Amino acid sequence: MHLTRPRIFGLIAVIATLLVLAGTVSFPALERHYMRQQAEKDAVPLKLAVEGLRAAVDRYAPLPALIAERSTLIDLLNNPDDAALVAAVNEDLRQTAATVRASDVYLMDISGLTIAAASYREPGSFLGRNFNYQTYFTQALNGALSSFSVYGTTTGERGYFYAAPVEDGERIVGVLAVKFNVSAFESIWRGANSEFMVADRNDFVFMSSRPDWHFRAMRPLSDATLRLIAQNLQYPIDRIELLPITVRPLDADARLVTIEGETRETYILTAQRLADLDWTMSSLSPLGPATLSALRSMLIAGLTGLLLLGALLAYLLKQARQTEALAREKEAKRLLEAAVAERTTDLETALGDLRQTQTDLIQAGKLSALGQMSAALSHEFNQPLAAVKSYADNAGAFLDRGRVAEAKDNITRISKMADRMATISAHLRNFARRPQQATGPLLLNAVVQDALAVIDMRLTSEGGEIAYTPPKSEIWVTGGHVRLQQVIVNLINNALDAMADQPERIVDLRIENTRLQVRDTGPGIEHDAIANIFDPFFTTKAPGKGLGLGLSISFNIVSDFGGTLSAANHPDGGAVFTVTLQPATPMEVAAQ
């Protein structure tokens, strides 16, 4: 499928939407994953907190038994009305409490009545109060070395109590109790990231890093339990409130709890039981970090997705650009080809026109040659014909008068005229069909000598001279003797014609190897004539003086010999005609 830009953007939008949907759907699972991880992490500080609590509780366990050893306590129990003794023990206990940082240290007789207390000077002191209903008292009275439990008190202060029997020999004569403020244990949790709480077997929260959770029940307490609490005065029953808590399981060890307080808060809850104390300690860590981690992962995934989508987009756009460029190139090529085809057609048309024009020109040229020829021939023949007519008329007239001799003379002239016309006709025939005559080796000097002999007659009658030095060695060329002689005679005749009006008439004849040069001292070839000089019927001579065939015939003869004939003007004046011939091979010469 071809990907156009709109299609690409559509595709990217669909992928992006799918990714967003996938992210939205998978976010809760991701969040839960991080919650579980958080729960696993929480196990460590919870374990430390549990150990800290146990250490704190255990640290003071031997304390009441040690204090109970003091003899003054037995003395006082034996003499409870001794005011001085009471004062002394009160003070002794006060100092002890200050040293161990207990909130109270107090002595009870076997009826449960407090007869001495560290808090003797403070309002609300235990002094004079009876604690026979308290479990720690009854346990100690029954001989347990130390017993402890946690209780709320009527003061509303959460206390942790240790108690030991005071023994006079084998006899138990009283109970010594030490009270610690529970908030002392809670202080170490401050500053932790998580909240902590400790609940008893009834899921009643009596310790927590959150003061507003104190004395809150995590589940409704049964009537029996409430009765037991009321009976023991263990907690301030009127202050017991339900903690509005909803619990959802997270994994085997952790739960998600939502607590409705002033605000609604959700925590990851991990719990550990302190079996011997029948307590459960819980850590409640906020959801924030897990949600944040999930968001961060989602963000990274989203950004990665965005990056990949961007890369995909860039890649697809590049592909599209390339495809478009290719299409453009193709289109340009197509246009170019069309333009070339159009141009070619134009050129072909033009070429056709040119050919036609050429044909027309050739035709015109032929006609012009024919015209030239007709003019020349009609002149050549008209003149003798006119002469023949007048001679014939004359002969007739002479015969009428009986003057036979004159008539005969005229008839002889007619015969001569006929001869002349026959010569012209032969000339023309030669030109029209050049018979293929044999060529052979010729001694160039011999041909020149024969030509000079023919010319000699004209020189004697008209004047002019020929300057010729025969070559020192024999020069053999290829050609036909009579025809080559005709060419040389023709060239010399033309030279003499050209020099007719010159005071000095010299034809310079030279042989250089197989090249023969004929130079005259005439006016030279007319500038316009040079291009047409070898054309048949081209002549500059007056009518009757030349047919314009001499050079044309000479040119063809030399060509037949495989040689060349060329015309030029000499720099020092006069025309130069050069005949270049093929040398005859030694074999041919030997065969001669």
- Binding marks (x or -) toward ligand ADP, 529..558, rule CB under 6 A? x---x----xxxx----xxxxxxx------
Closer by beta carbon to ligand ADP, 153 or else 485: 485
Which residue lies nearer to ligand ADP by CB, 511 or 575?
A: 575
- Kindly indicate which of the ranges 262-270, 314-322, 347-355, 518-526 contains the residues binding ligand ADP, using the contact rule CB under 6 A: 518-526
What character string, x for contact with ligand ADP (CB under 6 A) and - otherwise, covers 382-421? Answer: ----------------------------------------
Contact between 464 and ligand ADP by CB under 6 A: the answer reads no
- Cβ distance to ligand ADP smaller for residue 109 or 520: 520
9 contacts: CB under 8 Å, gap ≥ 6: 313
Radius of gyration of the chain from its Cα atoms, rounded to whole angstroms: 76
- Of the pair 283, 539, the CB lying nearest ligand ADP is at 539
> In whole angstroms, what separates CA 363 from the centre of its chain?
66
Please give the biggest Cα pair distance in the chain.
Answer: 227
Long-range pairs, 147-154, Cβ under 8 A, ≥24: 148/57, 148/61, 150/182, 150/200, 150/206, 151/232, 151/233, 151/234, 151/235, 152/206, 152/215, 152/233, 152/234, 152/235, 152/236, 153/233, 154/233, 154/236
Q: Looking at 205, 284, 511, 525, which residue binds ligand ADP (CB under 6 A)?
A: 525
Smallest distance, Å, CB 421 to ligand ADP? Answer: 17
Question: How far apart are the C-alpha atoms of 552 and 538, rounded to whole Å?
Answer: 9
Least separation, in Å, of the C-beta of 371 and ligand ADP? 16
Give the nearer residue to ligand ADP in terms of CB position, either 60 or 431. Answer: 431
Q: How far apart are the first and last CA of the chain?
A: 90
CB of 379 to ligand ADP, least distance (A): 12
Q: What is the smallest separation between the CB atom of 568 and ligand ADP, expressed in angstroms? A: 11
Least gap, CB of 398 to ligand ADP (angstroms): 36
Judged by CB under 6 A, the chain residues 557 through 576 that form the site for ligand ADP are 575
Query: Do 551 and 531 meet the contact criterion of CB atoms below 8 Å apart?
Result: no
Q: State the Cα torsion 142-147-153-156 to the nearest 10°.
A: 180
Burial 25-57 (b: 16+ CB within 10 A, else e): eeeeebbeebbbebbebbeebbeebbeebeeeb
Which residue from 522, 557, 561, 563 is in contact with ligand ADP, where contact means CB under 6 A? Answer: 522
Identify residue 421 by its one-letter amino acid code.
M
Of the pair 42, 508, the CB lying nearest ligand ADP is at 508
Instruction: Report the alpha-carbon distance of residue 407 to residue 389 in Å, rounded.
Output: 13
Q: Which of 186, 195, 380, 520 binds ligand ADP (CB under 6 A)?
A: 520
Q: How far is the CB of 507 from ligand ADP (least distance, A)?
A: 9
CB-nearer residue toward ligand ADP: 65 or 495: 495
Q: Which residue is nearest to ligand ADP (CB)?
A: 546
- Give me the least distance between CB of 522 and ligand ADP, in Å please: 5
Candidates 186-194, 207-215, 313-321, 519-527; binding stretch for ligand ADP (CB under 6 A): 519-527
**Could you tell me how many residues of this chain bind ligand ADP (CB under 6 A)?**
20
Binding region for ligand ADP (CB under 6 A) out of 178-186, 314-322, 335-343, 520-528: 520-528
- Nearest-CA neighbor of 146 among 74, 69, 61? 61
Q: Which is nearer to ligand ADP, 64 or 546 (CB)?
A: 546
If the CB atoms of residues 68 and 547 are measured against ligand ADP, the closer one turns out to be 547
Q: Which two tokens stand for residue 177?
A: 């109790």
Task: Pick out residues in 486-515 that bind ligand ADP (CB under 6 A).
Answer: 494-495, 498
Minimum CB separation from ligand ADP for residue 590, in Å? Answer: 37
**What DSSP element (H or E) covers 266?**
strand 264-274
* Residue 480: C-alpha distances to residues 2, 428, 442, 474, 485 (Å): 83, 20, 7, 17, 8
Q: Are 136 and 148 in contact (CB under 8 A)?
A: yes
Smallest gap from Cβ 374 to ligand ADP, in A, equals 16
Considering beta carbons, is residue 398 or 538 the nearer one to ligand ADP?
538
Q: 280 or 539: whose CB is closer to ligand ADP?
A: 539
Cα(287)–Cα(35) distance, integer angstroms: 7
Strand pairing partners for 108?
114, 175
DSSP assignment string, 76-139: HHH-TT-HHHHHHHHHHHHHHHHHHT-SEEEEEETTSBEEEETTTTSTT-STT-B-TTSHHHHH
Residues in the chain: 592
Closest to ligand ADP by CB, 154 vs 566, is: 566
Which residues in 35-74 contact ligand ADP (CB under 6 A)?
Answer: none
Residue list 224-243, contact with ligand ADP (CB under 6 A): none
What is the spatial distance between Cα 475 and Cα 494, in angstroms, rounded to a whole number?
25
Residue 375: CB minimum distance to ligand ADP, A: 13
Both tokens of 482, joined, read 């009579």
Cα gap 209→45, rounded to integer Å: 14
Which spans of this chain sit near ligand ADP (rule: CB under 6 A)?
494-495, 498, 520, 522, 525, 529, 533, 538-541, 546-552, 575
